[in-house]
Structure 1
């Protein structure tokens, strides 16, 4: 999204309508107590989500964004203009809606990606063979996940996943994928966790996916017999651990993202593989937290 377009939309409080549900209760995807998850309705709400992303990625994780983003103290890029932005709001916070946003995810459906130049993950991972092997499956990309530190609780994560699940059902998605990150740009610092993923949950056969060759970093850093599974699981970032609980697998390579100061892996989650335990919890019709 260009700065000029962003400023113009913010000045008029433009409604966003990539899903056709902007400004309506139909974009509310879940509620628990004072917390609500729904899609962003206005450019101001997207701007607030970008501010949260900046606080997490730059202030906390020491990312180095383009100069314009650093000046504005917003994490934004061209994808923001055509993605949907999932929000978690704490309605107990006094003030404007924008002040109530405490977590966010960026969601991109395959048909929208195709119309706008492709998926973000393709900048790091060779996802085209994966897509080509599943021409009847509609993919959605999950990205830019972040939650303010004081809200990193079971409730917030439940609402984010309630939102993702309800969104996937609403639009008939067949598989989810997206980058998940380890802190820092030295894969050796995460040898135990990365090796555990490589040996135990790497995507196979029709779901296999590799990094772009010029960016690929080996995840096979330890022999399988030397891996303590319990210690490896505890070393995984919470987001990656959450994906695995749902039934996800990972690509076979990692990628270093110097700008975001992370080591990335690709998560692959066919909807049909989501654990029955979680389907029962969230509801096969996404109704668990809908009221």
Structure 2
């Protein structure tokens, strides 16, 4: 009989919902390791979100995790984690359910691409079941210096900015403005190499980003607001996600 919290099981890995405080503590420990925060990575949003754990099926070793906060409509955006850092007032007109993807991380010792596929398959099942129209979140770059990511930011500015009807405005006290910082054409190879895998996946499905990055010294990251309208995902990508999600 299947476990009640099991979302997906494929090959060496399984994805399931956190079942209680011990599972959430395990996710927080992995987040602390990945984000290298000074203390345990936890906040008030942990109590509001569903937490997904990706584990090695045989050993139960936690290799990836993320949390998901489902909102009934754009007017609820002010209650999201991202709203602390970005002015999302224009997006409050968005109609339909939204879901905020947060604290997505993979164990630094595990590099199997199947882990990311299982995570996205589980996520796809959750957002389709709840009829989510917009997936969004803060996508992190390691460290707080923009220098290693100038080519990536130039590429984002050139090809992947938010649609004109959904501008994401500045709110945080310390930001990297793409237009002000980046003057030259990006080196495409360097731009892609420095891009986090999560962001590459978002963009491959038609996602878009803010025109600036927030400097988050508490998390020791730079991050960009990232949005993905589920109706805009190419059909071929949808079929792949559905196939993984079963």
TM value normalised by structure 1: 0.77
Aligned to 2:55: 89
- In 1, are the aligned partners of 2:102 and 2:137 still within 8 Å (CA)? yes
Tell me which moved more, 138-147 or 148-157. 148-157
Cα separation, 2, equivalents of 1:202 and 1:150:
32
Cα separation, 2, equivalents of 1:108 and 1:191:
31
Alignment of 1:118-133 (within 5 A): 118-130=79-91, 132-133=92-93
Cα separation, 1, equivalents of 2:25 and 2:155:
37
Could you tell me how far 1:152 is from its partner in structure 2?
A: 2.7
Unaligned ranges ≥5, structure 2 = none
Cα separation, 1, equivalents of 2:54 and 2:221:
24
Aligned to 2:32: 54
- 1:161 counterpart = 2:120: yes
Unaligned ranges ≥5, structure 1 = 1-23, 65-69, 94-98
Aligned to 1:80: 46
Provide Cα deviations, 1:41-68, integer angstroms capped at 9, x if missing partner.
111111111111111112xxxx33xxxx
Cα separation, 2, equivalents of 1:112 and 1:275:
23
2:103 to 138, 144, 148: 144
* SS of corresponding position for 2:8: strand
Could you tell me how far 1:27 is from its partner in structure 2?
A: 3.7
Provide Cα deviations, 1:168-226, integer angstroms capped at 9, x if missing partner.
011111010000111221223321111110121001212321231634320233336x2
- Between the two proteins, the alignment pairs up a number of residues equal to 244
Instruction: Assess, with a 3 A threshold, how the Cα gap between structure 1 residues 248 and 34 changes in structure 2: closer, same or farther.
Output: same
Aligned to 2:244: 288
Alignment of 1:132-211 (within 5 A): 132-134=92-94, 136-211=95-170
Aligned to 2:196: 237
- In 2, are the aligned partners of 1:113 and 1:119 still within 8 Å (CA)? no
- In 1, are the aligned partners of 2:87 and 2:170 still within 8 Å (CA)? yes
Alignment of 1:11-90 (within 5 A): 25=3, 27-58=5-36, 63-64=37-38, 70=39, 74-90=40-56
TM value normalised by structure 2: 0.90
Cα separation, 2, equivalents of 1:205 and 1:178:
18
* SS of corresponding position for 1:141: strand
Aligned to 1:273: 232
Could you tell me how far 1:153 is from its partner in structure 2?
A: 1.9
Cα separation, 1, equivalents of 2:67 and 2:88:
18
* SS of corresponding position for 2:52: strand
Provide Cα deviations, 1:75-121, integer angstroms capped at 9, x if missing partner.
2111111110011011211xxxxx53221001001149988971001
Instruction: Assess, with a 3 A threshold, how the Cα gap between structure 1 residues 178 and 116 changes in structure 2: closer, same or farther.
Output: closer
